[in-house]
Amino acid sequence: MHPKIKILLVDDHQIIRDGVRTMIIDEEDIEFLGCAENGVKALEMIEQAIPDVVVSDISMPDMTGIELCSKMSALNIPSKVLILSMYTTDDYIFNAIHAGAKGILPKQDTTKEMLLEAIRSIHAGTEYYAPSISKQLMNTYVSGIKKGIQTDNSSKYALTQREKEILKLYVEGFSNQEVAQKLNISGRTVETHKNNIMQKFEFKSTVEMVKFALKNNIVKL
């Protein structure tokens, strides 16, 4: 039996803390460590308990979720951060990713199933962005690229046909599960191909991979 995923929740609103706790408390593979109402208190709890995944809001008093991510990275704390926030503009998303967040979910339309999938994916070592976030990131990159001159560099990069198919779906904002369904292959196979792509180019994140694919016109949209 695998160890349970230890979760710490950070949010300054009691109703959110109660709601998220209710969503995950009865899951057999999750251990709920507790809640913190701000980043300062959260950091104290994280240093003591070292949770596997920290589910954190962005906008909080004393210390924001983004600042919390940065401090955790500076302290080499291995806990992974999943941002759950109503603030999902480009600036917030990019700042959160830059600070070290491994996943982002919008409070407005996150379901219990999506939250649990994100927690489990991040714990397993895979970044997780809600489909709306992925599409937003893709649209931002595409918009920026269209302002410049695009050249076809696809022939310069040694990707298999299957890797190109998978990369294209990631660029379009689909999740691992959706990519698997569209290509009629297993999620494990998708992960294998994705890891191969990331190793070839030494990408550190899915966002970096998508940005590179768009900038170099590796996939055709």
pLDDT value of residue 220: 60
User: What residues in the chain have per-residue pLDDT under 70?
Assistant: 1, 137-158, 219-221
Architecture in CATH for domain 136-215: Orthogonal Bundle (1.10)
pTM over 0.85: no
Contacts of 58 (CB under 8 A, 6+ apart): 64, 65, 66, 83, 85, 87, 92, 96
Sequence ranges of the domains in the chain: 5-129, 136-215
CA distances (Å), origin 182, targets 70, 165, 179:
36, 10, 5
The confidence score (pLDDT) of residue 157 equals 57
Fold observed for domain 5-129: Rossmann fold (3.40.50)
Q: What is the pLDDT of residue 147?
A: 54
- Longest Cα separation, the chain: 54
Task: Kindly report, residue by residue over 79-94, the tens digit of the pLDDT.
Answer: 999 999 998 887 788 8
pLDDT at 174: 80
